[in-house]
Amino acid sequence: MVYQNVINLLKNRLNSASYNIGDLLPSEKELAELYGVSRNTLRKALKALEEEGMIERRHGSGTYLRNKHFQASVTHLDSFTEIARNEGKTPTSQILKFELQRASDDIATHLRVGHGEPVYYARRLRFIDNIAMQMEETWLSASRFPDLTIAHMKNSKFSYLENECGVKILGCYESIQPILPSAEVAKLLHISTLDPIIRMQTQAVDEQQHPIDYSILYTNMFEFQVKYFLPRKAATGPREMRADQ
């Protein structure tokens, strides 16, 4: 739908550094011309943003930015749950699938387990303040983490690994690429299949550089924006690893 594309373009514009809370938006006429849509389509998009609490429309005065969608600054490896809570937000997860699988060649390679060995597979939709931000697929070795349950995956995976399994997470490797979402992912994240998203492959490792998990994250970049600060390490210091999971 055209108005949904306008919503995402507006979100991207208003979440940028060019706007601060309380700023006045351009007029409806200017915005309609900017995005090449009718005034009716533009008004429909603005109404949706108003209902989400992002903008405030004041009769006779104009439209103002009331709230930006989720933005955070990260300076070290934090979980999705920790990132949200550090910003005073409420993270939740909806488990779409949780099952025991036999490791494919690809998963076996990533987890360094034998082909066909049992692994846990979880697919979960991650929310912040009830807004869908990310869809995650993750695999963990069932022999290493035999007590993993759906209840653990509803909360923080890192919390389970560190507090219940006693695993020391050294860091996380990640690979990022922009893609167009599948119809399933677009529906879950409430976007169009023509809206680009971020696909991130991550793999947390322990102090011995052994794989802990392997995950693929699909992130709605119109809603979930994270700014990283990566300090320059000393020439002789240990390698530092950064990621969001």
Say yes or no to pLDDT of 238 above 60.
no
Summarised one tens digit per residue, pLDDT across range 132-154 is 999 999 999 999 999 999 999 99
Residue 245: per-residue pLDDT: 52
Residue 28: per-residue pLDDT: 92
The model's confidence at residue 242, banded by pLDDT at 50, 70 and 90, is very low
Name every residue whose Cβ is closer than 8 Å to that of residue 115 and which is 6 or more positions away in sequence: 103, 104, 105, 108
Summarised one tens digit per residue, pLDDT across range 65-90 is 887 677 677 777 888 999 888 888 89
Residue 1: per-residue pLDDT: 57
Residue 157: per-residue pLDDT: 94
Q: What is the mean pLDDT of the chain?
A: 88
* CATH number, position 134: 3.40.1410.10
pTM comes to 0.73
Residues 110 and 39 in one domain: no
Residues 77 and 49 in one domain: no
Residues 140 and 155 in one domain: yes
Residue 243 lies in a domain: no
Among 14, 34, 67, give the residue marking a domain's end: 67
CB contact at 8 A, 13 and 55: no
Residue 234 lies in a domain: no
CA dist., res. 197 & res. 134, Å (int): 10
Say yes or no to pLDDT of 243 above 50.
no
Say yes or no to pLDDT of 5 above 70.
yes
Residues 88 and 193 in one domain: yes
Residues 207 and 145 in one domain: yes
Residues 94 and 196 in one domain: yes
Q: How crowded is residue 169: how many other Cβ atoms within 10 Å of its Cβ?
A: 18
| DSSP string of the chain, one letter each residue | -HHHHHHHHHHHHHTSTT--TTPBPPPHHHHHHHHT--HHHHHHHHHHHHHTTSEEEETTTEEEE-----EEEESS-B-HHHHHHHTT--EEEEEEEEEEEEPPHHHHHHHT--TT-EEEEEEEEEEETTEEEEEEEEEEETTTSTT--HHHHHS-HHHIIIIIS---EEEEEEEEEEEPPPHHHHHHHT--TTS-EEEEEEEEEETT--B--EEEEEE-TTT-EEEE--PPPPTTSPPP---B-
Say yes or no to pLDDT of 29 above 60.
yes
Residues 126 and 79 in one domain: yes
Residue 236: per-residue pLDDT: 53
Summarised one tens digit per residue, pLDDT across range 159-203 is 999 999 999 999 999 999 999 999 999 999 988 888 889 999 999
Question: What number is the average pLDDT over the span 49-70?
Answer: 85
Weakest-pLDDT range from 9-23, 86-100, 166-180: 9-23
* CATH number, position 25: 1.10.10.10
Domain ranges, residue 6: 1-67
CB contact at 8 A, 90 and 126: no
Residues 138 and 178 in one domain: yes
Residues 217 and 108 in one domain: yes
Say yes or no to pLDDT of 14 above 70.
yes
Residues 39 and 121 in one domain: no
Residues 90 and 105 in one domain: yes
Residue type at 37? V
Residue 231 lies in a domain: no
